Amino acid sequence: MDEIHLIRDVLDNQLVDGDRRPMGKVDGMVLVLRKDKPPRLAYLETGMTTLAHRLSARLGRLAERLGRKWGVRHGKPFRIPWAKVRHVGIDVEVDLKADDTPVMDWEKWLKKKIVGRIPGSG
């Protein structure tokens, strides 16, 4: 049986969607505690807030505040249920469409508001 080491093979790896389009990195992993049962790996997280929390609690709170004020995602990391993970190799492939998720919000915002308005952007 093949084994996965969460820290080595999953955390900080590239996330790709079903069409192998990049959708950020695995910035965090969330386990949920259940009554009378062992904890369960529930979500992968991606987003600046998660990264900031990894560095320090204070930075994390700051990132949340900034995100609520100006972020297109309102400072919330995007959570991917572990059940959506299809493959763990060079990348972590999940059964989603990048374009349908909030991970592309900044990309779409920039495309619409700035890049798309500059001539020659394709």
Partner 1 sequence: MKKALEITLGILTSIGGFLDVGAIATAVQAGASFKFQLLWVVLLGTICVIFLVEMSGRLAAVSRHTLVDALRERFGFNFYLIPFLAELVVDGLALAAEIGGVCLALQLVTGISFRWWALPVAFVLWLLLWKGTFSIIEKGTSLFGLITLSFVVAVFVLHPPWNDVAAGLVPSLPAHDAAQYWFIAVAILGALISPYLFYFYSSGAIEDKWNKNDLGVNRGVAAVGMSFGSFISLSLLIVSALVLFPRGIQVDRYEQAAMILTEPFGYWGFILFAASLGIACFGAALEAGLDQAYVVAQTLGWNWGENQHPKEDARFSMTYTVFIFVAALLIFAGIDPLKLTIFTMALTAVILPLVIFPFLILMNDENYLGKHRNGIISNSVVLIITVLAFVMAIVAIPLQIFGG
> Is 27 a residue that touches partner 1 (CB under 8 A)?
yes
107 touching partner 1, by CB under 8 A: yes
Residue 115 makes contact with partner 1 by CB under 8 A:
yes
Name the segment binding partner 1 (CB under 8 A); options: 32-40, 63-71, 74-82, 109-117: 109-117
Quick one: which H or E segment has residue 61? helix 57-70
- H-run or E-run covering 46: strand 37-46
Q: Is 18 in the site for partner 1 (CB under 8 A)?
A: no
Strands (E), 49-120: 78-81, 85-88, 91-94
Buried b (16+ CB within 10 A) or exposed e, 28-44: bbbeeeeeeeeeeebbb
The answer to whether residue 38 forms part of the interface with partner 1 (CB under 8 A) is no
Residue 74 C-alpha from the chain's centroid: 14
Question: What's the min distance (Å) between Cβ of 70 and partner 1?
Answer: 16
**Which span (33-41, 58-66, 78-86, 100-108) binds partner 1, by CB under 8 A?**
100-108
- Binding segment for partner 1 among 15-23, 29-37, 61-69, 73-81 (CB under 8 A)? 15-23
